[in-house]
Amino acid sequence: MPSRDEGNRASLFDRRYRGTTIGAVVLVALYAFEALAVATAMPTVAQALDGLPLYALAFGGTLASSVIGMVACGPWADRRGPAPPLRHGIVWFSIGLLIAGFAPSMEVLLLGRIVQGFGGGLMSVALYVAVGRVYPPAMHPRIFASFAAAWVVPAVIGPTIAGALVQYLGWRWVFLSVPLLAMTAAACVLPALRGLGSATEHADGAGLSPHRLAWAVGAAASALALHYAGQLRHAGGAVMLAASAIALLVCAWHLLPRGTLRAARGLPTVVMMRGIASGAFFGTEVFIPLMLSRERGLSPTMAGAALTLGALGWSLGSWCRSRPSQPFTPSQLLRYGMALIVIGIAGVACAVSPSLPVGVGIVGWIAAGFGMGLLFPTLSVLILELSPPHRQGVNSSALHLCDALFTATVLAVGGSVFAALMTRAPSMAYLVGFGISAALALLGAVLASRVRPAG
């Protein structure tokens, strides 16, 4: 691996890095296109399949099943290199999309989203391991910023294409078109990762513990049960809700690094912050197209434009974070990022009122995206910086795992509130969910100073 000075001088497109950079960026761009396109199309999908009460589960189920893929990928990538789990991830991701695209009911569509989530979990962790294995530490901010930049083109064209597909060809093509792109991405990235085996001799015996996999399955099942329990309107639903929440907490305790749930200094807080940021941001974002289309009368294309602008804000924030002479400490960047998410959610909440212009919410969402652009590369750099080479897969897995668990939980709670209030007080249904996300981001701002180990 090059020295730090060489890493500072090297370009992401130097001969030794070019193939990995292009392949990884193409794969991230594909993932971005799928995420933004599906978010744009989902209000139409839920109405077409008479599944509006399960709207949040269409996103939360994907995140819940991704937990299993993330847990499986960490030790697998440490032991065999990132290419095998990435290859499997692309295949499962594509199969899930095909199931969703041909789904005759909302329940079958949810099954496809769950399969897709498992593949996405494998893909996300494998890419982080590839970064840690291929690029020197000095280049990590730049490659993670390039991942954020890979959202720019999908952010600009993804919602527009998805809106056009929904309006002129039907929502199913939003799902069915992506597997073709996935095969192209695989052809780019997999050859570049060929030959990357285990990180060190320490990884040789680092297999996947059956107990850990069982906890991952338990976490996924608990998250799905939490979503389902929130739709029930009787005493049994309340009991199931409490039991699911406790089970999810116990599983998370066993899966995440020791000290994560109490925000212990250093790596545990880094992992915790990723979950908080994602839960706050995505717990709001999934309801934006629905709110703009149902409450403000925007077309699917125009409602998706809000996600486009938020993603552009994210890319701009990542670009600012990647500047070599960074005047802010990681703790400061994280605190500023969380504050911007709070401001952004407040702006989106204002857009619920028909007396205020929609532009208030859109400007707010750009600010929230900028905050995420500061947060995500900072946390990604910290997780690799605080991990020895033979633990990069496991710790990157924990980072994504906390991301999925927090977001799935926030969506379960927000989706339950939404389902309970949507027919009686739709404006309040949105506002309560947005309030939960804002409170979470405020907690993250308080914890930002704990990402550095004591002493």
Residue-wise pLDDT tens digits, 144-202: 778 777 776 776 777 777 777 777 788 898 888 888 777 777 777 777 677 665 555 44
User: Which CATH number belongs to the domain containing residue 377 in this structure?
Assistant: 1.20.1250.20
Query: Rounded distance, CA 286 to CA 291, Å?
Result: 9
Higher pLDDT, 44 or 370: 370
Q: What is the pLDDT of residue 118?
A: 93
Could you report the per-residue pLDDT of 47-62, keeping only the tens digit for each? 888 887 778 788 878 8
Dihedrals φ, ψ of 263, to 5°?
A: 55, 50
pLDDT of residue 1: 46
Residue 252 lies in a domain: yes
Short-list 125, 169, 187, 157, CA closest to 34: 157
Nearest to 283 by CA among 141, 454, 444, 446: 444
| 271 belongs to a structural domain | yes
Domain count, the chain: 1
Q: Are 98 and 179 in contact (CB under 8 A)?
A: yes
Residue 8 lies in a domain: no
Do 355 and 403 touch, CB atoms closer than 8 A?
Answer: no
Give the span between the Cα atoms of 169 and 190, in whole angstroms.
Answer: 32
Range scoring the smallest mean pLDDT among 207-211, 256-260, 385-389, 409-413: 207-211
Query: Mean pLDDT: which of 76-85, 303-312, 442-451 is highest?
Result: 442-451
Polymer length of the chain? 455
Query: Is position 231 within any domain?
Result: yes
Distance CA 89, CA 397 (A): 14
* pTM of the full structure: 0.73
Whether residue 5 lies inside any domain: the answer is: no
- What pLDDT was estimated at residue 9? 58
pLDDT tens digits for range 18-48? 777 887 888 888 877 777 778 778 888 888 8
Residue 102 structural domain: 17-187+207-450
Residue 199 lies in a domain: no
As a whole number of Å, the end-to-end CA separation of the chain is 29
Q: Is residue 321 domain-resident?
A: yes
Alpha-carbon distance 88 to 121, whole Å? 10
Q: Phi first, then psi: what are they for 136, rounded to 5°?
A: -70, 160
Q: Is the pLDDT of residue 443 over 50?
A: yes
195 falls within a domain: no
